[in-house]
Structure 1
Amino acid sequence: MSRIDAYSGASIFDGEQRREGAVLLVQNGQVLGVVPEAGIPPDCTQHILDGGLLAPGFVDLQVNGGGGVLFNEHPDVEAIATICAAHAPFGTTALLPTLITDTPEIRDAALQAGIAAARAEQPGFLGLHLEGPHLSVARKGAHDPALIRPMNDTDLTCIKQARQSLPFLMTTVAPESVTNAQIAALSSAGILVSLGHTEASFDTAAAAAIAGAGAVTHLFNAMSPLGHREPGLVGAALHTESLSVGLIADGIHVHPAAISIALAAKRGPGRIFLITDAMSTIGTDLQSFSLNGRTIRREGGRLVLEDGTLAGADLDMISAVRFMVHTVGVELDEALRMASLYPAACLGADTLHGHLKPGAAADMIHLDEALDIRSVWLRGRPLD
């Protein structure tokens, strides 16, 4: 029988509630359970932590790059491995490498790279996120308008077929560039459809949700705003119970007051969850990089095109959690849920991810009182 590892000496947050004076048991990379200290098996290997909090690893559904690599520029298995490795020290133990609007050839290469990463069981790899190219030019953000286009039958077939070989697949689309029948077909194929980069009205977005869209991409950014006569996608995101909503919590993309208002207004069971929208700068001192032949500069916490347009975020997930706690005033356990349980549930990955209940992957982080990361484990193995 393989050994059992017992982690004690810290408070344990299992994804829903906090346990004091308890022990987390792990075997074969999976959580066995949380037991009282008196329930530690006699032959286990004990790991005594020096206080702090043991919590589930973070789940990030929108990661464009990291470690000096942008997925669009290097749509291959090596890039996926680099991106996953770059985000792990910041507590992200499961992520979706995200392809920004690009050519069909780059998309196909990215899908094949994701399939290969899944077969290789790349640590930290959860699946892929295709953000575009089926968006609205009017709300393009940093996406190249020359590459934005409607979805056709070939696109639909390609994405549906890729899903069969990927653990999870998410795609951001605008109702201007897809039909509700296409949204329904994607959803029926097990793909998480997220609405974003769109001028869609409230009614149009609500109809897309009925058709099968399950999420909204980076709330407030690159979407029709909340108005008192036309609530837009922001209104639909907060009012529609079935929609879960991604949020970039860096104090640059969304004002803290707007975040607080959104949290108070959101109707469930859909939840607001944290994303980083991180680019290649994470884990590096890079000051500039390229996307679709355009230079993006790193300036004072921002990533911008030459015209000042925000282009992704210079953000890691533990920094987003700290921002939610220290600036927005969200209770720590809820901020941790927003970074782990809620995104996992949105994707349908919460059988294994986002919590530390029996049967979950032993993806864990150890936080100190300052919310600095002391240790990270992926499938029970400590990060080097």
Structure 2
Amino acid sequence: MTSTTAIRGARIFDGGQWHEGKVLLVEGDRFAGIVAESDVPSEAQNVDYDGQWIVPGFIDLQVNGGGGAQFGDATSVEAIRTITSAHARFGTTKLLPTLITDTPQTTELALEAGRDAHAARVPGYLGLHLEGPHLSIARKGAHDPALIRPMETSDVERLMRFRSEVGVLLTTLAPENVSLQQVSTLTDAGILISLGHTDTDAKTAQAYFGAGAAMVTHLFNAMSPLTHREPGLVGAALDAPQVFAGLIADGYHVDPIAMGIALRAKKAPGRIFLVTDAMSPLGTDMTGFMLNGRQIFRRDGRLTLADGTLAGADIDMLGCVRTAHRLLGLPIEDVLRMASLYPAEAVRISGSHGRIKAGFVADFVALSPDLDHIATWIDGKQQTRTV
């Protein structure tokens, strides 16, 4: 018989509205409902979060590393477990370990690790994000230009072979190195396509959206900008109702003014969601690390190459939530949806994730009203508690 846990004393945000004076019931790995005190089963095990908030767990679709592990340098179930555990301490309940541009051999190893993590049901693991290697050298960012290349038939076959075995499979690519037919083939196979690291014009971006690309990777960064005569990928993404876009809300990657303009301009139902683009130092006191043989420096809340090029971000999802709420002045409800519901919608799992709702996977976070982390629950089990 599945045991029932009663989460008491908290103010509960279910993803749509707040519930006061209610109890959240969890049965096994699922939510059983938000009920009145009188409807709590007598045999329920009680957990008290008096005066705190309960919110849907954060979903991060772009995580390069954490806890000292960098996905790619380490491609194993143990590395994935280290990364998910590090991010759980900041409220992330599901994430996509992200492999940046690398060799075909490393890509194969990463996919095998994702398959094994999926089979092992590693807490917090959702699937994989392959960011490259089929990008534009002109918009390479911190990616190694020597490893950037066109997509070949073998690459398509590799992705399709692993699609059903790794969980969610997302890949970032550029029109410069991938054909419309390849995008259509991958999309038909259930692989999610995001445009990024590209200098494409708006008209070309729209054609790729039509072929099935439904996402944009870290809006504004490493892509053709919006100008008054050529809207670029930024303009095309904001104008396309079906397209979702990730946003690194650390205050360094995108100016707050630009973030606010984009949020007001984005046509729905596609939304802008939060990502961290975090690297291995997250959750550690590391001052730097190596990426594709190059030194990355950690200083003043940023990760950079020696020339100052940003190389991922030094922020967690709760930090992104705080920034978007405090720096942009957005209602906390909107920001929480950007961290949970919208990424769930972007990768098409909003029928089971991103809300606190009976039957949904029991992923949630306990926060203080000042947005301090209290505890993280994944699949109905408490993973970490700060206080």
TM-score (norm 2): 0.98
User: Identity, % of aligned pairs?
Assistant: 55
Aligned partner of 1:303 in structure 2 is: 303
Q: Distance in 1 between matches of 2:150 and 2:216?
A: 19
**What is the DSSP-based 3-state SS (H/G/I as helix, E as strand, rest coil) of the residue aligned with 1:34?**
strand
**What is the DSSP-based 3-state SS (H/G/I as helix, E as strand, rest coil) of the residue aligned with 1:230?**
coil
User: Aligned runs of 1:165-184 on 2, under 5 Å?
Assistant: 165-184=165-184
Q: Distance in 2 between matches of 1:364 and 1:16?
A: 14
Q: How far off is 1:83 after superposition?
A: 0.4
- Paired residues of 1:72 and 1:291 also in contact (CA < 8 A): no
Aligned partner of 1:12 in structure 2 is: 12
Give unmatched runs, 5+ long, in structure 2.
Answer: none
Aligned partner of 1:233 in structure 2 is: 233
Q: Distance in 2 between matches of 1:248 and 1:70?
A: 19
Q: Distance in 2 between matches of 1:142 and 1:47?
A: 45
Q: Distance in 2 between matches of 1:85 and 1:43?
A: 31
Q: Distance in 1 between matches of 2:347 and 2:162?
A: 16
Is 1:80 the counterpart of 2:80? The answer is: yes
Q: How far off is 1:349 after superposition?
A: 1.7
Q: Which moved more, 1:33-42 or 1:117-126?
A: 33-42
The count of aligned residue pairs is: 384
- Paired residues of 1:9 and 1:48 also in contact (CA < 8 A): yes
**What is the DSSP-based 3-state SS (H/G/I as helix, E as strand, rest coil) of the residue aligned with 1:311?**
strand
Q: Distance in 2 between matches of 1:98 and 1:272?
A: 19
- Paired residues of 1:244 and 1:272 also in contact (CA < 8 A): yes
Deviations 1:23-75 (A, max 9, x none): 11100111011112232223222222121210111000000000011102111
Aligned partner of 1:143 in structure 2 is: 143
Aligned partner of 2:45 in structure 1 is: 45
Q: How far off is 1:375 after superposition?
A: 1.1
Amino acid at match of 1:102: D
**What is the DSSP-based 3-state SS (H/G/I as helix, E as strand, rest coil) of the residue aligned with 1:278?**
coil
Q: Which moved more, 1:69-78 or 1:221-230?
A: 69-78
Amino acid at match of 1:26: V
**What is the DSSP-based 3-state SS (H/G/I as helix, E as strand, rest coil) of the residue aligned with 1:90?**
coil
Q: Distance in 2 between matches of 1:185 and 1:32?
A: 39
Q: How far off is 1:185 after superposition?
A: 0.9
Deviations 1:115-162 (A, max 9, x none): 000011111000000000000000000000000001010000101111
Aligned partner of 2:284 in structure 1 is: 284
What RMSD in Å do the two structures reach over aligned CA positions? 0.9
Q: How far off is 1:352 after superposition?
A: 2.4
Amino acid at match of 1:302: R
**What is the DSSP-based 3-state SS (H/G/I as helix, E as strand, rest coil) of the residue aligned with 1:247?**
strand
Aligned partner of 2:355 in structure 1 is: 355
**What is the DSSP-based 3-state SS (H/G/I as helix, E as strand, rest coil) of the residue aligned with 2:360?**
coil
**What is the DSSP-based 3-state SS (H/G/I as helix, E as strand, rest coil) of the residue aligned with 2:55?**
strand
Deviations 1:237-265 (A, max 9, x none): 10001100000000000011111100000
Q: How far off is 1:202 after superposition?
A: 0.5
Aligned partner of 1:93 in structure 2 is: 93
- Paired residues of 1:6 and 1:40 also in contact (CA < 8 A): yes
Q: How far off is 1:273 after superposition?
A: 0.1
Q: Distance in 2 between matches of 1:383 and 1:157?
A: 37
User: Aligned runs of 1:17-32 on 2, under 5 Å?
Assistant: 17-32=17-32
Is 1:186 the counterpart of 2:176? The answer is: no
- Paired residues of 1:63 and 1:96 also in contact (CA < 8 A): yes
Q: Distance in 2 between matches of 1:351 and 1:290?
A: 39
Q: Distance in 1 between matches of 2:191 and 2:131?
A: 13
Amino acid at match of 2:207: A
Q: How far off is 1:2 after superposition?
A: 2.2
**What is the DSSP-based 3-state SS (H/G/I as helix, E as strand, rest coil) of the residue aligned with 1:345?**
helix
Q: How far off is 1:21 after superposition?
A: 1.4
User: Aligned runs of 1:98-177 on 2, under 5 Å?
Assistant: 98-177=98-177
Q: Distance in 2 between matches of 1:180 and 1:204?
A: 10
- Paired residues of 1:273 and 1:338 also in contact (CA < 8 A): yes
Give unmatched runs, 5+ long, in structure 1.
Answer: none
- Paired residues of 1:22 and 1:34 also in contact (CA < 8 A): yes
Aligned partner of 2:248 in structure 1 is: 248
Is 1:373 the counterpart of 2:378? The answer is: no
**What is the DSSP-based 3-state SS (H/G/I as helix, E as strand, rest coil) of the residue aligned with 1:125?**
coil
